[in-house]
Amino acid sequence: MLTCHQVAEEATEYMEGAGARTRRLRVWAHLRVCPNCREYLRQLSRTIGLARRALAPPPAAEVEDELAAIFAAHGKGAAE
Amino acid sequence: MAAEAVLVARLRANDQAAFRELVRARHGRLLRLAGAFCRNRASAEEVVQETWLAVITGLHGFSGEAPLAAWINGILVNKAKTRAVRDGRMVNFSDLARQESEGDAFEPERFLPDGHWAEQHRPWDALTPEREAGDRELLAGVGEALDKLPPAQRAVVLLRDVEGLESPAICQALGISDANLRVLLHRARVKLRDAADRMVRG
């Protein structure tokens, strides 16, 4: 039986469906009987969803204005 | 995808409001991604600026085969790499991967000597779907946790989990092996999960 430590180390490999089949089966067998590791993997997987939605600071107004001006000028040039 | 087709059509029709919408949606994320490739904030900002210029001039050539965000990210990664070479300080992700994979992913005290967790992971009941989608403080906090990761871990998790690239494309972009990628991704996710755990409960 794998230990929680081993399962935790291999969690991403397991979640990505990588690694040898026999190894994945051993992780799966551990998860069946270990609610603590199941919860840990569930949290890792929800973390991916949070990362996807992570917010970044919006651009400074002057940066946005400058880019918008370049966009407008380019559009005009292309239209002529 | 329909909404995206509309946005692209508006951009091609030189709709300024559409362009501002795109800049507001993507600029911060581009800066975050550039930060993993560049050694300082100023060069990351320049790379993002160059990326926007390439987007503006290249929009009419955008095929629409890949999503717009993926196309822009691809431009950014190329610009960031070119820039690093020009500055004579190419970030070698393969070396970084080795450095950032040293030691254990977990502090030893998180496990008992017999290999069991020392801690009980309590369910994230407080993290409702509504919070997951719309808790701005939490999602900004996750963003800050992303910014604190070491650069190779940051590059990998941003490309894979945040921007949704496939592993082979990431390995190629960063010049790292599949094994490197998984180790870096694992370490990044472990740290992000710990940060999220504190925030979800806090």
**pLDDT, averaged in runs of 10, over chain B (202 residues):** 87 95 97 92 94 96 89 94 76 86 91 97 95 95 97 96 94 93 96 97 82
| pTM of the predicted model as reported, rounded to 2 decimal places | 0.93
What pLDDT is attached to residue A79? 57
The 10s digit of each residue's pLDDT in A8-60 is 999 999 999 988 999 999 999 999 999 999 999 999 999 999 999 999 999 99
Would you place residue A80 in the very low, low, confident or very high pLDDT band (cuts 50, 70, 90)?
low
Exposure pattern of A14-26 as b/e (b: 16+ CB <10 Å)? Answer: bbeebeeeeeeeb
What pLDDT is attached to residue B84? 78
Which CATH fold would you assign to the domain B2-86?
A: Rna Polymerase Sigma Factor; Chain: A (1.10.1740)
CA gyration radius for chain B?
Answer: 19
What pLDDT is attached to residue B180? 94
Find the CB nearest B121 among A39, A47, A54: A39
What pLDDT is attached to residue B63? 85
Cβ atoms B27, A59 nearer than 8 A = yes
Find the CB nearest A44 among B132, B178, B189: B189
Find the CB nearest A68 among B19, B138, B196: B19
What beta strand segments (E) does chain B contain? none
* CATH code of A54's domain: 1.10.10
| Numbered ranges of CATH 1.10.10.10 in chain B | 93-201
Give the nearest chain B residue to A34 (CA atoms). Answer: B116
The domain in which residue A26 lies consists of 4-79
What pLDDT is attached to residue B176? 95
Instruction: Kindly report the CATH class assigned to B93-201.
Output: mainly alpha
The 10s digit of each residue's pLDDT in B36-72 is 998 889 999 999 999 999 999 999 889 888 899 999 9
Q: Indicate yes or no: CB of A50 within 8 angstroms of CB of B115.
A: no
Considering chain B, what is the average pLDDT of its residues? 93
Residues 72-101 of B with CB under 8 A from A: none
| Numbered ranges of CATH 1.10.1740.10 in chain B | 2-86
Per CB-CB distance under 8 Å, the chain B contacts of A68 are 16, 19-20, 23
